Structure 1
Amino acid sequence: MKTFCKFLLFITLITLYQCKEEKKTTIIKKKKLDTETSSVPEKKIVKAWDSLNRHNTEAFLTEFGKQNPETKVLIKTDFGNIKLRLYKDTPIHRANFIFLTKIKYFNTTVFYRVAKNFVIQGGNSDEMYTQKERNKYGNYLLKPEFRKNRRHKYGALAAAREWKRNPNKLSSPFEFYMVQKKSGAYHLDNEHTVFGEVISGFRTLEKISKVRVGVDEWPVDDVKMTIEILD
């Protein structure tokens, strides 16, 4: 009887040990299964040039401005060249102009408005590429950067904007104008953001101001442009 009891105890211990090992093995397998089946979502790689949109405008251009500090650009036309200096104290507008210049947006645009003895306005065209680029970035807008020392003097570079349904005076990122009136256009101060000025090429400005235009002030013959970074 004593031997039989020892035998039963031995069988019980073996059974308990096997159950414990099976449980341990099951847990280990489960952890391994979790590791194998759980998938880490792949990070979507977005090209920096393509990531600007109407939801991240200020953040994108702030960072872009830090990495692209250039302040001088050259507008080339059939009438001559115009050299511009962009202001550092209007950082979002400056960065935006540099951005559009670097992606060559302006190179398919024209001076589409010549208001004689007032302003010369450009940055748009009828070409499909121009419209495609505008749509690509969602027709984002820029908050105004009015500065007391940045006024609409002769040669001032400023951002165009919609006047209707635009109480916050948000700028168009694509369209700009230069004041051609020699006495300035100071009534536009605090209405449009002045973010640069002409530093050479005033003669070119005057030549463009004399082109023949239609009733909508659009030149009869397109005044094409290309813009490049100087420094």
Structure 2
Amino acid sequence: MLELIDFRKSYGSDFHLEIGDLNLEAGIHLILGENGSGKSTLLKAVAGIHPFEGEIVLSGVSISKDPLEYRKLIGFAEAEPLFPDFLSLEDLIQVVVKAKSSSPTQVEDLKETLKIGDFSKQAIGSYSSGMLKKSALLLAFIGDPKLIILDEAFTTLDVGTQQSLTRLIERKSKEGTSFLLTSHQNEPITAFDFSSTISLNQGRIIEHEGA
């Protein structure tokens, strides 16, 4: 499903992330590590946001050879999402729906699942941290991504929305979508049967359990 080949990422001389080669089969994968271990950097590189050295291939599509097609296969919600204050979630949805060839029905289903309601019509500058998180999550699921990347997926969400998100992840996984997750919250992730767990420390994999 996801293949990293000779992967390296550096920030000046202070931080180096070196994964080497990594192959992940379809499923739900958990990435663990302390702050500064490289989790978010890795996820942003796989999402096509950060440049890096090496190669990443998802479902046979290379990010370096076919970057537009690659990014269509990815959904991404970062740990602390930031959007322009003057836009609304509806504005963002229109852009992503067009890029991902999604349907209005899918968007309405996601709004209901994540309990967004009419907040989507308001300016993002008025959103709470929880609503910002829900917005990022909704955008990540739009279209038919082969891989959805959720960095600290459950932070700032109320318990009810955490449970709804858990069910949504499980349902999409059964339909063939794979996930990369990070979380500092133990309780929400106990529901998942992870295909593998990857532990990072100081920019290197120190343990990889599972497929």
Which TM-score applies when normalising by structure 2? Answer: 0.27
Which of the two has greater strand per residue? 2
Structure whose alpha-carbon radius of gyration is higher: 1
Which TM-score applies when normalising by structure 1? Answer: 0.25
- Greater relative contact order (Cα 8 A, min sep 6): structure 1 or 2? 2
